[in-house]
Structure 1
């Protein structure tokens, strides 16, 4: 347990060397990175993966406003310092990716390199995202469903293990590709159209599901509060409108992941080499990979991360 930014975070830690902070997404935990620990440690890094605020054994503040992007970046900044370091590599998946990108954007002095999986860098749009999706999809986009107090919280907690099993299968590369946006009929719920598989995919074992289910023993409200701050985050980040992520960067995504197909995302990904001056390679697209990038394709993700983390003199600063 580590004290940071006024809260306590539960972390998993292994290895010695330059610090790499791994940030999970929704609905996940530090365990989402268990395939990365061994290879990164062997490559010479100190690896730390927290349960982020509102998740697992970390603190779950009651106030919805306590889950803004500034709080989340503050947690990472405080964590790096609490671990005795001034700088770190920051890697994020799903919601962890915007936290990583924004840490690099707001505190480039502390970020040696930044990598995002699934979610591209959050270049600030012209409209608040919840409001934009409300207008575009008539309130049926899953962000807007999650924004309704207590509703998704109750649906997901009703049978946590089944909910997680359906979510992890249905947006993986193993599920049929519908090509549809993640829309929700509010009267039916988010899980209504998801498949409950008879057999889990090879990359997601019963033991993985056990660990994940246990991490949500306190419910889903803390995790869902991240979504309830989307429009507030847009307001808070106004000073960084049109700013660019300057630290060395890497972006990886699966071609079966629905997130890179969200409205505006394909065009953004195509422009990343121009928008990110230190993007170290073209965005890496993994064929046949769904949303759970580092779990579905650990070997390819590990190879790309190690190449990124160890390439060039910028990766090993003096001292």
Structure 2
């Protein structure tokens, strides 16, 4: 369905029992709502009502021209506006990659609107900032930001029949085609890249302590987030918290580990207590 919010139109894909507790799903780059396809059946079977949003830059009706309109605080405001338009007072939030970053902001700055948070891959912003400061290897992992922020990023990713984009998404298997095809649509890739171009660490400086029940899912073969950032996330959650470490899984958790992700997300939402997957949990 199309949701009008903040002067834009967002594509929102709903599913599950109409009377189920609402779950807001927020995707990352360079994907869209389809990255949650493999976990949705489990959520629906558990009686949950899901709303997967194509975020700012990804919904054709929500692609501002101004790069500054993609500062990370704006998608968080979008999420609240979408909930308002849907008449949802409070929702469980599941976010991956940039969607996790938005989730952390929502939980920190709008805790009255968030029942629980399941953040996937990207840790609490302050934990990531610490790791960037004390671990040169963490800074090196973010070197790709310079490329994605550059004027040649679109040509780099889509050139030679999207060879680089396909390689980046290859761990998602055949599903990579879904995302590559979507990024070929006019304006779509630029909309996604503008999140990088508009990014400023100062936008995350105000993301403080999380007071809603939270699960953070990190995978030990994630090429972007170091173990230090993952472990120090617990410093910023003053609520029931679990760190889940998925072994042998890369950054693309919703496709590579859909079953475990669904299990841990459901445990967080329903208040279950699954056995931690790592001693660090």
The TM-score with structure 1 as length reference comes to 0.76
Matched residue, 1:156: 157
Decide which of 220, 243, 248 is 2:189's aligned counterpart: 220
Decide which of 57, 62, 66 is 1:63's aligned counterpart: 66
The 5 A counterparts of 1:72-111 are 72-111=75-114
The 5 A counterparts of 1:201-216 are 204-205=173-174, 208-216=175-183
- Alpha-carbon separation, structure 2, partners of 1:119 and 1:160: 29
Decide which of 205, 209, 223 is 1:258's aligned counterpart: 223
Alpha carbons of 1:277 and 1:214: their partners in 2 closer, same or farther (altered >3 Å)? same
1:49 alignment partner, SS class: strand
Matched residue, 1:277: 238
Tell which structure's C-alpha radius of gyration is larger.
Answer: 1
Residue 237 of structure 1: how far off its partner (Å): 4.3
| Structure 1: runs of 5+ lacking an equivalent | 173-202, 313-319
Alpha carbons of 1:273 and 1:252: their partners in 2 closer, same or farther (altered >3 Å)? same
Residue 275 of structure 1: how far off its partner (Å): 2.4
- Alpha-carbon separation, structure 1, partners of 2:252 and 2:125: 19
Matched residue, 1:44: 47
Residue 273 of structure 1: how far off its partner (Å): 2.9
Name the one with the larger helix percent.
2
Matched residue, 2:212: 247
Matched residue, 1:33: 36
Pair 1:300-2:260 in alignment: yes
Alpha carbons of 1:249 and 1:58: their partners in 2 closer, same or farther (altered >3 Å)? farther
2:39 alignment partner, SS class: helix
- Alpha-carbon separation, structure 1, partners of 2:264 and 2:245: 11
Matched residue, 2:167: 166
Residue 249 of structure 1: how far off its partner (Å): 0.5
| Structure 2: runs of 5+ lacking an equivalent | 273-281
Alignment: residue pair count: 262
- Alpha-carbon separation, structure 2, partners of 1:55 and 1:120: 23
The TM-score with structure 2 as length reference comes to 0.85
Query: Deviation string for 1:233-290 (max 9, x for gaps)?
Result: x33444x26x2111110100111111222xxxx3232233332111432x11111100
1:112 alignment partner, SS class: strand
